[in-house]
A and B are shown apart, each in its own frame.
Chain A
Amino acid sequence: MGDIQNSAPTLGARKNVDPGQNAVKRLQTELMQLMTSPAPGVSAFPSADGNLLSWRATIEGPEDTPYAGLTFKLSFEFPTNYPYAPPTVLFRTPIYHPNVDFSGRICLDILKDKWTAAYNTQTVLLSLQSLLGEPNNASPLNGEAAELWDKDPTLFKTKVMDRHKDIDDD
């Protein structure tokens, strides 16, 4: 993980040509990093239509959380001025989580105002993975889930399992 954090700024400081082109180049490099040093439990790849600005990602639910053993699919839409603006990230797999609403939108500061160009797809995925285990209950999108997380973990787990549904691509 550390090396990616370190190397990202050098990449971001590349001379700017065409912004869209820059984003594509950056994403190519990110992809290469993801592939050469994959982080456990997360993976991402451009969508099958060949558009590099649109990715699909997978997160495995971390152990010791209600999401253990589950797999979540996400979609990343990168803006053309990426990495100077955050990607739009959505859960495509239905998930029951305090910071995710029913249409998959995520409330995470680094995807909003705390975004910096030093972040990348892998860091975002790892943040999301840790968000699964440690939700930010102070600003929930799903109030019920936030409540249940603290009060009734068993019911929470049931709700999670109810809500979860493997989606098939293709």
Chain B
Amino acid sequence: MPAAVASRWQDRRRRVFQSVFQTDLSPPTPQAVPLPSANLSFSQGLQYHSGTGPTVTSGSFYDEDTQDTTQPAFFNPPDQGLLVSHTPSNSFHSTVTAGSQPSQLFFAAPDTGTGDQAAYDNAWRLVTARITLPSSVTSPTLAGSLPPDAALPSNAEFCDALAHIVHASTLLPGAIRTDDVFAWHTHQVRAHFSQHVIPLLSGCLDTGSTGDGDPERKGSDQERAKNSHYERHMVIVMSSIRTLEAALRLYSHGFDLLVKGITHAESAAAFGTPAVNVEVLANHFRRDIHALVGNSISQQLTKSLRIVLVRLVGNVLGIPSEDDDGARNLKSRRPAPPTDDDFKALAARQRLHELVEQLHNVGLAGERFQVLFAEVMDWMMSAFVCGAYAGVWSATDRRSLSSVLNTVSRGTGSSVTSPCIISLMDWVENHFARLSFEVLSRISHASVSPVTLSDLKTYQSLALSRLSTLRIAELFDIVLAWPDSRGALDDLRATITTSARRLQLTSHFTQALKTRLLHPGCSTLEILQTYIDIIHTFHALDHSKVLLGHVEPSLKLYLWQREDAVRIVVTGLLASPDEVRAARKVKEISKQQAEQKKAGKRPEASTRRGANKGPVVTPTTTGRSSRTPNATRQRDGLDESSSKAHGATPIKSRASGTGKLVELALLLNDPTKTRHTLVEDEELDWNDMNWVPDPVDAGANYKRPKSEDVIGTLISALGSEDVFIKEFASIVAERLLSLSDPARFDQELRVLDLLKRRFGEAALQNCDVMIKDIEDSRRLDVAIRRAWDEQRRLTAATPVMMSGHFLRSADKRKKAALQRQQQQEPTQYHARILSRLFWPALDREHFLLPDPIIEEQKRYEQGYEHLKSNRKLTWLNQLGTVRVELELRDRTVTIDCTTPQATVIYAFNDSDDDDDIEIDNNASKPPGARRTVDELYTTLQMDEDLITSCLEYWVSKKVLRRLRSPSSPQGGSYTYVVIESLSDPIVDEEDHPTKDDDDPFGNHPTSTTSPQEAGQAAEGPEEESNKPAIDPKELERRTMYWQYIKGMLTNASASMPLAQMAMMMKMLIADGFPWTNEELGEFLAEKIAEGEMEVVSGGKYRLVKK
């Protein structure tokens, strides 16, 4: 302890003593009641002493020279210097004076009794004078100054007097006013305690509070402050103990005098009276004193004691406390059971034992202390469980944890193998219970062991319940960490034993789901991925799926609101093997990185994505590159969702790179997962040694699920099968149309089989037909072409363009898709013929195809009608794919693109194609062919938005360049020019370099260029124009809703209020009506503006009559 503190403390101490010295004490008359004397004020006492103090002294009692002889060894703690305060001895004299003074008064009082009474009074005076308590017990000077004759009461006079008092009835029968000298002594003690010791105790506490209030200390180094914080409280406790010890010694000294005097007297002279039962008296006295002390513990002392206990117990049990030396890296330190040779723990244990013994000796180890100790131990258990096991889920972490174990837990009785639980049991048994045994056995009087085996069991079950609470709180993170968190599930499984616990688990987890997952900040993909992990985790936790069933509803409800959920699941199922491989690779990479990271710095227990998921950036970047091969195929909403998924929260980082639920494809391809158990009825499987009864909280119709069945659970969670099948059909349609490689059907067929098993053959008939269509049309295609080739002469001058188109039969029975591919000279043209009824509605986009393609179409049509009479083809032009080869001046670009895109770029060719004129429409503008959107609109009759997006596509491929056209009246319109040569500088419209060859389709000899630049063009960044266009689906939906509204107002009721209309729509539209009342109101307002509707009285809407 710093010297400054010590001196300050001493100073304070001294002041307290001085105030105490001035108090007086109760008169030792038999009639004296201790309490009234307490009313005497200090000032009175002071005046009194000043007058009489020097007159009476009994130096023998307070000889300072004797102080060291009788002081017990344990009263000499290392910091004794602090406590020893050499107060001037005159104060003692004065106090003694005060003590004997009332006796004088007593003498002076006129005595009306007999000689006996006088003798008694004399004896009384003599005895009380001898055992009167000094008014201060504080100083070791006093404490050590027990009279040397205390041990052997040789003073015969005292013995006689005592005998007279004790045996007053026989020896002095004449004395009327007699009293019990022991009771008097006890009174004295009480009065003294309350008047002197308690103030002293609070004086001790003052030291503590000074430190708290000291501003300079607050500003000082925190660690030191913390350390001395503990020290300070230790000082408080120790000084309190010492004060009490001194006081008690004083009290027992008087008592001993009495007792020994009596014993002596009785052995010397044989009185006929029965001997006083000394032992009973002693016990009685001790109990009184302990009760006195025990009830005098102030709150502040309790607080200090608690701090001291927490520190010591923490050290013994291996729990790092905040005041610890290593406070700075507390976070990284986990509590661990101390080893046997841990010096710190041993020292703390030793210290604690001493402390407890001292407390017990002074009577502080009463009920209050026990309560305090119990609280501290309770806190320790929580701290240990939370500190040691929070976030410790994976097997590797746990192995290091369990390596500390050197004893196998005995007596737990359970067959638990989880390392966490074993180590916890061990800790409870070898440290926790041991310590409580040690402490309690020191303070209990009973001879029986204070900690029995059943107590140990109680401790262990308490610890287990703490652990389960911890794991329940962590469950969401455990789910996220799957599959590295299996270990934590072992803990949970072992601890979740009651139905109340199960309920706690499910309700807590549901809550966590709501706050952490089911909010707009999480993408659907993420939610689904987490859902998969939840299924895994809960299955590992509880095979019966009952827990999962309790958790799922909120998740399901939320997923139903996500329109893209079904789509994500289906595309996930259909993920190609390439994507799966890519995802695996990404996963491994991020795992490695995570491990590297972990090796460098151990993640905090509170961080969520500890083990396998890696930092946010990693999957995003790798994911991009791995996805590029498939990017063209997935140009629809999926890309959006994936890019969304990469953005925001840490959960997203585990989006497996492709932005798809490839986990599903992995599961689907995993032979172990798809294998089904052969045992039909598990109940009858008598050989199943793992059988367990159904969980208590299972429902009435509960049926034990056979397997984990992630896919099945997911599908059933996504609402009605109709929705799912519909979505599946549309996605399969999309894929079938976009796939050029028929081998890819494997995946579709596999998913189809899976769904058939679930929903039945009939429900998926459409998909069957769709796949069959594609296969049939391949055959048909060959047949048509064969017939066709026979009669056809090869024409050399076909355009170098392949185009695919979809046809639709006029009788609305068949849709057909044609695709044409160019090998060498003839344009290859292939079609896929779709049975219209079985395919999802496909829109027909109108635009004019290039003439050569139309010719091919006609020919194909004829061939088809020749083969299948009574059927006609309707072409769906926009769904085709085309391989385009562009011969530019410096390079040849070969690209697979869509029919509209090919048509648009072909339009830049038109002028030369027919009559070989090398100049554009405008002869004065010689350079690369140029078109504006308006021009293209007139020639192609294509939707303007579509034209623009196609043009942007070619711009992104570095085939076209966008120029602001000055001739255009609107500032926003552009002219698009073919980039004939990449080496051309980007120039303004005005000073175009003259280029003769403006034919992008290269019927002309191409000029030489550098191959590097061509390569550069090919690798051009793939950017999709994100021009917002009205979603055709949305448009369709609006049209449909308008029909509903018209139908409703025509038939149901001529006029209706908005709310009723919204309600009807919600009720009647099978797929749901997602609009809010406000959105419907806006829509109706539009219709009113268009003159279709009007509002009549009462806010009702109705159709305008025409």
- List chain A positions with a Cβ less than 8 A from chain B: 2-3, 6-7, 13, 25, 28-29, 31-32, 34-36, 38, 43-48, 50, 52, 55-58, 73, 168-170
- List chain B positions with a Cβ less than 8 A from chain A: 762, 812, 837, 1040, 1043-1044, 1046-1048, 1050-1056, 1060, 1063-1064, 1067-1071
A108 to B1070, CA, bound (A): 31
A57 to B1068, CA, bound (A): 16
The residue that A3 contacts in the complex, of B837, B1047, B1048, B1053, with Cβ under 8 A, is: B837
Q: Write out the residue numbers on chain B whose beta carbons fall within 8 Å of the beta carbon of A56.
A: 1051-1052
Q: Write out the residue numbers on chain A whose beta carbons fall within 8 Å of the beta carbon of B1068.
A: 28, 31, 46, 52
Q: Given A3-B812, A36-B1043, 20 other A-B contacts at CB below 8 A? A: A25-B1070, A28-B1070, A31-B1047, A31-B1068, A32-B1071, A34-B1047, A38-B1047, A43-B1051, A44-B1051, A45-B1048, A45-B1050, A46-B1068, A47-B1053, A48-B1048, A48-B1052, A50-B1063, A58-B1051, A169-B1054, A170-B1053, A170-B1054
The verdict on A32 contacting B1069 (CB below 8 Å), with A6-B837, A48-B1064 known, is: yes
A3 to B1069, CA, bound (A): 20
A57 to B1052, CA, bound (A): 8
Closest-by-CB residue of B relative to A31 is: B1068
Closest-by-CB residue of A relative to B1048 is: A45
A56 to B1048, CA, bound (A): 9
Q: Write out the residue numbers on chain A whose beta carbons fall within 8 Å of the beta carbon of B762.
A: 13
Q: Write out the residue numbers on chain B whose beta carbons fall within 8 Å of the beta carbon of A29.
A: 1070
Q: Write out the residue numbers on chain B whose beta carbons fall within 8 Å of the beta carbon of A28.
A: 1068-1070
Closest-by-CB residue of B relative to A29 is: B1070
A36 to B1052, CA, bound (A): 18
A2 to B809, CA, bound (A): 14
Say whether chain B's binding surface is mostly helix, strand, loop, or mixed. helix
Q: Write out the residue numbers on chain B whose beta carbons fall within 8 Å of the beta carbon of A25.
A: 1070
Closest-by-CB residue of B relative to A37 is: B1043
A46 to B1071, CA, bound (A): 17
**Interface contact B1051-A32, CB-CB below 8 Å:** no
The residue that B1047 contacts in the complex, of A6, A7, A43, A168, with Cβ under 8 A, is: A43
B758 to chain A, nearest CB (A): 14
A31 to B1070, CA, bound (A): 9
A82 to chain B, nearest CB (A): 16
Closest-by-CB residue of A relative to B1039 is: A36
Closest-by-CB residue of B relative to A36 is: B1040
Q: Write out the residue numbers on chain A whose beta carbons fall within 8 Å of the beta carbon of B1060.
A: 48
The verdict on A32 contacting B1050 (CB below 8 Å), with A48-B1056, A48-B1060 known, is: no
The verdict on A46 contacting B812 (CB below 8 Å), with A7-B837, A32-B1070, A36-B1043 known, is: no
Q: Write out the residue numbers on chain A whose beta carbons fall within 8 Å of the beta carbon of B1071.
A: 32
A142 to B814, CA, bound (A): 46
**Interface contact A46-B837, CB-CB below 8 Å:** no
B583 to chain A, nearest CB (A): 37
The verdict on A38 contacting B1043 (CB below 8 Å), with A3-B837, A46-B1064, A48-B1064 known, is: yes
The residue that A45 contacts in the complex, of B1051, B1063, B1069, with Cβ under 8 A, is: B1051
Q: Write out the residue numbers on chain B whose beta carbons fall within 8 Å of the beta carbon of A47.
A: 1051-1053
Q: Write out the residue numbers on chain B whose beta carbons fall within 8 Å of the beta carbon of A58.
A: 1050-1051
Q: Write out the residue numbers on chain B whose beta carbons fall within 8 Å of the beta carbon of A50.
A: 1063-1064, 1067
A37 to chain B, nearest CB (A): 9
Closest-by-CB residue of B relative to A6 is: B837
**Residue of B1040, B1043, B1047, B1051 with most chain A CB atoms under a 10 A cut-off:** B1051
B556 to chain A, nearest CB (A): 21
B720 to chain A, nearest CB (A): 11
8 interchain pairs, CB-CB under 8 A:
A34-B1047, A35-B1047, A38-B1043, A38-B1047, A45-B1044, A45-B1048, A47-B1051, A50-B1064
**Interface contact A2-B1056, CB-CB below 8 Å:** no
The residue that A35 contacts in the complex, of B812, B1043, B1052, with Cβ under 8 A, is: B1043
**Interface contact B1053-A48, CB-CB below 8 Å:** yes
Q: Write out the residue numbers on chain A whose beta carbons fall within 8 Å of the beta carbon of B1046.
A: 43
Q: Write out the residue numbers on chain B whose beta carbons fall within 8 Å of the beta carbon of A170.
A: 1053-1055
A56 to B1067, CA, bound (A): 16
Q: Write out the residue numbers on chain A whose beta carbons fall within 8 Å of the beta carbon of B1067.
A: 50, 52
A44 to B1064, CA, bound (A): 14
A45 to chain B, nearest CB (A): 4
Q: Write out the residue numbers on chain A whose beta carbons fall within 8 Å of the beta carbon of B1050.
A: 43, 45, 58
Q: Write out the residue numbers on chain A whose beta carbons fall within 8 Å of the beta carbon of B837.
A: 3, 6-7
Closest-by-CB residue of B relative to A13 is: B762
**Residue of B1043, B1063, B1071 with most chain A CB atoms under a 10 A cut-off:** B1043
A28 to B1055, CA, bound (A): 22
A57 to B812, CA, bound (A): 28
B1053 to chain A, nearest CB (A): 4
